[in-house]
A and B are shown apart, each in its own frame.
Chain A
């Protein structure tokens, strides 16, 4: 039986309406779990989370951990007894606050008080020959005659929107152009003073009188 023009039009409209009503996209949920939208419309990890690889979203840092770049590190005063374990109270051990001459490190394994601000510092170990001998997240560096395990700079990689978000951290520079994270400023290029996995980047060719520690491979000036 021939189909009338009216039938055609009804079928046509039905197909169109059903089609346009189909939806995958949810404008209120465009990023992965533990992510939020940036001002530029991209997705970034929310505070307290770190990226899992380049594409696998973000995971929440554990108790007493803070996000630093792409790793969760122990908060000040906390440390891991071994790699992979949870951060526990340092209580005189690794990363515990100390002061040369007045507050010694109680744990013989971490009996070196590395000064950070005057005589105040944190407890760590000496005598390493490589970073693989240091606790997780620490790198082995030389300072004069002493080789010691250095903790990551505080705040490095923490998300920020303005410079105020990085105040009080060793990573006191808020990079607001692309990554929106706290970075360590005024680093030395030779020898490279940045923590392992990071590199001192000279931005003078871009018209900025800055050197910043950035993650390996992300320095725009090479």
Chain B
């Protein structure tokens, strides 16, 4: 049942679990009615046990530990700007889930990520000196020792009600339903170590706060599933505060067919308005008045298409994502590097293809991934990236990975990002607990 819960949470892919479902119907045997009855009783008992198990609070999670070494020449200017020249171990994700079927038709999921941040995050002073935040404080439990405190990121917090077999309404903070990667975001089930750049850049918001209606229906041997969303959209504090009247809407349609061994195609859409505001107070006619100013505002439209095909040991994942943004005339943000100039409207797009083969030995999967992105940054027109690696299921709950990857930002028109390749080698162990 833990694995069933992990499917709900997106830690394990549903297909993998369905094949091992303990509630699969037993083959009919009309010759022995008594035996059938006994078997039905056994199944009913098992279902009751499952229901009891599901109604308990499940606490589980995943984590990963990664070694990263950048392989550029020591003179690479990337070391001066974005990347550390020093090979590093890191505990990356440490995510916990709380999941429960809280009442008939009602269920809830909460996911949060424990962070070492903000300790170690870089700050740039007014004079351009980069330093790292130090959260060390004297531990009141032991007045001789300092501890470094970290933070918590709430990834998801929702409750849902099954209105009808075709419609379940979810309320709260949920992952935006788009593509393959954002749903299956637990590192133990991801094939490569790093997300594709086009996913990391959040052309769709990673999560939203609002309502999500979802369901699916089988048509013969094909299944059509849908997601419809209504949310605050993006904003400086969109998990609990919308700073405009415009609610964001979106949706996803996915078709699952039996072609090959698995063939799933989906399209996703999101559109909304981002608003960041400031407020200043003053005196006018002896009355305190507040001036509300939109300091950054834009409309956006994101669209995506994705495809997952699996045939025997071969797996291919691919996604194409676009995002258009148009700023309000009076709320166009300044460029970070050239503050006297402002950022233009943009049409960002990109995609990736990931191909892997699950070998019969040691549950190994060699894989390759290639991607391209035209980002929303005006001064960085092209990003190319490629990776090659091996994924190994050491145990059902433990995944080992190693990969080489290279990237190139070309056509750069700003003084900070060098037109030089980025090369890295990484190794990771990711586990479910």
- Residues of chain A touching chain B, judged by Cβ–Cβ distance below 8 Å, are 2-3, 5, 8, 12, 15-16, 19-20, 22-27, 29-33, 35, 37-44, 51-52, 54-57, 177-179, 181, 215, 217-218, 220, 222
Give the residues in chain A near B378, CB-CB below 8 Å: 40-42
Give the residues in chain B near A27, CB-CB below 8 Å: 347
B338 lies within 8 A of A178 (CB): yes
Give the residues in chain A near B295, CB-CB below 8 Å: 55
How far does the alpha carbon of A14 sit from the alpha carbon of B300 in the complex, in Å? 22
Residue in A20, A43, A57, A222 whose Cβ sees the most chain B Cβ within 10 Å: A43
Q: How many A-B residue pairs have CB under 8 A?
A: 121
A42 lies within 8 A of B303 (CB): no
B222 at the interface (CB under 8 A from A): yes
A27-B347, A32-B329, A57-B330 known; A19 vs B219 contact (CB < 8 Å): no
| 12 extra interface residue pairs, beta carbon distance < 8 Å, beyond A30-B345, A43-B332 | A2-B219, A5-B222, A24-B324, A32-B330, A40-B413, A43-B341, A51-B340, A52-B330, A54-B334, A54-B339, A55-B295, A178-B337
Give the residues in chain B near A32, CB-CB below 8 Å: 327, 329-330, 332, 342
Interface range, B side? 35 or more
B316 at the interface (CB under 8 A from A): no
Closest to B413 in A: A40
Interface of A is mostly: loop
A25 lies within 8 A of B345 (CB): yes
8 cross-chain CB contacts under 8 A: A2-B219, A15-B253, A25-B346, A30-B344, A30-B345, A41-B378, A56-B331, A177-B415
B355 at the interface (CB under 8 A from A): no
A40 lies within 8 A of B379 (CB): yes
Q: How far is the CB of B284 from chain A (nearest CB, A)?
A: 17
A43 lies within 8 A of B344 (CB): yes
B64-90: CB near A (< 8 Å → 1, else 0) gives: 000000000000000000000000000
How far does the alpha carbon of A5 sit from the alpha carbon of B258 in the complex, in Å? 12
B297-327: CB near A (< 8 Å → 1, else 0) gives: 0011101010000000000000000001111
Give the residues in chain B near A20, CB-CB below 8 Å: 303
How far does the alpha carbon of A52 sit from the alpha carbon of B293 in the complex, in Å? 13
CB contact between A16 and one of B222, B305, B340 (< 8 Å): that residue: B305
B127 lies within 8 A of A55 (CB): no
Give the residues in chain A near B224, CB-CB below 8 Å: 8
B184 at the interface (CB under 8 A from A): no
How far does the alpha carbon of A67 sit from the alpha carbon of B334 in the complex, in Å? 19
Q: How far is the CB of B310 from chain A (nearest CB, A)?
A: 19
Give the residues in chain A near B153, CB-CB below 8 Å: none
A12 lies within 8 A of B265 (CB): yes
B255 lies within 8 A of A8 (CB): yes
B266-296: CB near A (< 8 Å → 1, else 0) gives: 0101000000000000000000000000011
A24-B300, A25-B346, A178-B340 known; A55 vs B128 contact (CB < 8 Å): no
Give the residues in chain B near A43, CB-CB below 8 Å: 332, 341-344
Give the residues in chain B near A5, CB-CB below 8 Å: 222
Q: How far is the CB of B425 from chain A (nearest CB, A)?
A: 33
CB contact between A3 and one of B127, B219, B345, B347 (< 8 Å): that residue: B219
B21 at the interface (CB under 8 A from A): no
How far does the alpha carbon of A40 sit from the alpha carbon of B379 in the complex, in Å? 6
Give the residues in chain A near B104, CB-CB below 8 Å: none
How far does the alpha carbon of A12 sit from the alpha carbon of B333 in the complex, in Å? 38
A16-B267, A218-B339 known; A41 vs B300 contact (CB < 8 Å): no
Closest to A178 in B: B338
Give the residues in chain A near B331, CB-CB below 8 Å: 55-56
How far does the alpha carbon of A196 sit from the alpha carbon of B126 in the complex, in Å? 20
